[in-house]
Amino acid sequence: MDYFKLTVREISEAVQKNPAEGSSVLKSLASRAEAVDPKVKAYLKIQKDFPDSEKSAKGPLAGVPISIKDNICTQGWETTCASKILAGFIPPYDATVVRKLKEAGAVIFGKCNMDEFAFGSSTESSAYQKTANPYDLSRVPGGSSGGSAAAVAADEAICSLGSDTGGSIRQPASFCNVVGLKPTYGRVSRYGLIAFGSSLDQIGPITKTVEDAAILLNVLAGHDPLDSTSANVPVPDYTKSLTNNVKGLRIGLPKEYFAKGLSPEVEKAIRNAVKTYQDLGATIHDVTLPHTPYAVAVYYVVAVAEASSNLGRFDGVRYGARVEQSNLLDMYLETRNQGFGAEAKRRILLGTFVLSAGYYEAYYLKGLKVRTLIKNDFEEAFKKVDVILGPTAPEPAFKIGEKSSDPLSMYLSDIYTIPANLAGVPAMSLPAGFSGNDLPIGMQLTAKPFDEETIFRAAGAFQMVTDFHKRKPQLG
């Protein structure tokens, strides 16, 4: 049986009925990864010796193999953030999310490729390999969680974890025709996530279906005393939101999301999704998010400032790679020079600049003020609507190498996803159609803080009456 084609729910139910099936699931998935990963290059490492799967036959994720983005700490497994500077770093502990997965019965299957330190929108800045989009191997899978999304899309992962600082779960989910959720900031513990932007980062699930995302968030969500930014807010059962009923749901369409720069094919898919919701009984309302045009600029002030600060710890002294030199200063300089790639260096330099004396108020402080205005835009919109609908990305997946020499063009890939991170609100990308040349198109749903239930309600109903998520890439 091709277990690798199954969903989280299907595998969990099968293993709970017959614990011996756990090892068959792992063998099937390992065989699939061996067959397709040489083309896709989604994994940096795959587990070879699995624990006794019959021992993990209890819990909501009984026997479910799960793949982890390589910036989430896994005890005993090398965790590199796809950077040379962390080569050889083996964390002595599990991230809280990894511990929770194991306690729920999941088996850690592999570590997924990513943009170095999550800096990118294409998974091309990895120091180790470029991941390909399973739907067209000449195109990018998105980023920075491109390995995680590509693995799920190619059926070489049942589900995976990614991290989202400015769209790094949702944009690759859109490019790879899978479901990707960025929870509310503080909903899921960041303990054990190697930080990029500490006020923006959030871990979330990447799955084949909306139902699987709900099952995973049930396990991942909740307060963690090890994370000072973790919110002590009750966690509902998200699967109960999958009622397939959106009658009376108020959906907002921001005019700023349908402006110049949006691919006509993407707009057509989103407009068709709007009609689907109308047919299901939802009501559509025009809303405005007037500060959206400033979101990318604000993000690349706030995020790079936090990145510059967070990456200061990688100095060759405490962990990771070290380039030996005759004195301490040269060792610092050469370790960082050889250890960081071009995009990491660019962001460290930008961040150090906006935090420097004389520029702090002109850039960073002003960026924080505009961030508040963006948050206020969402608060005003949510007084009129329950959920906001729009495109996840302005275009389908672009060619590998197409934007590598134009960082600004690459940064604009996240124009629709960045506002949710700046505002701290939850957002999901789910399959909503295909372009004329059969590339996936994703739709984004955004809700109030800690109201992931409404996103699941809306997304679940859409997925019940559409089959975009069932259309698989032809990888042989």
Q: Which residues are marked as active site?
A: 69, 144, 168
Q: How far is CA 139 from CA 38, 189, 252, 397, 463, in A?
A: 15, 33, 32, 6, 26
DSSP string, 71-116: TB--TTS---TT-GGGTT---SS--HHHHHHHHTT-EEEEEE--SG
**Phi, psi dihedrals of residue 418, rounded to the nearest 5°:** -55, -40
Residue with tokens 């990614």: 162
Q: Which residues of 70-79 are buried (b: 16+ CB within 10 A; e: fewer)?
A: bbbbbbebeb
Burial class (CB in 10 A: 0-12, 13-18, 19+), 5: middle
Strand partners, 43: 112
Q: What's the maximum distance between 2 C-alpha atoms anywhere in the chain?
A: 71
- Judged on CB neighbours under 10 Å (0-12, 13-18, 19+), 418 is buried
Measured CA to CA in angstroms, residue 431 lies from 176, 179, 267, 285 at distances of 9, 7, 14, 22
CA dihedral 129, 474, 175, 279 (to 10 degrees): -170
CB 105, CB 56: distance < 8 Å: yes
Residue pair 210/347 in contact by the 8 Å Cβ criterion: no
The three-class DSSP label of residue 468 is helix
Which amino acid, 64?
V
76: left (phi over 0), alpha (psi -120 to 50) or beta: left
Exposed/middle/buried for residue 366 (C-beta within 10 Å: 0-12, 13-18, 19+): middle
Residue 131 one-letter amino acid: T
Edge-to-edge strands, sheet with 440-447? 43-46, 107-112, 65-69, 159-164, 202-207, 179-182, 427-434, 440-447, 387-391, 250-254, 283-287
At 359, list the tokens.
């520029």
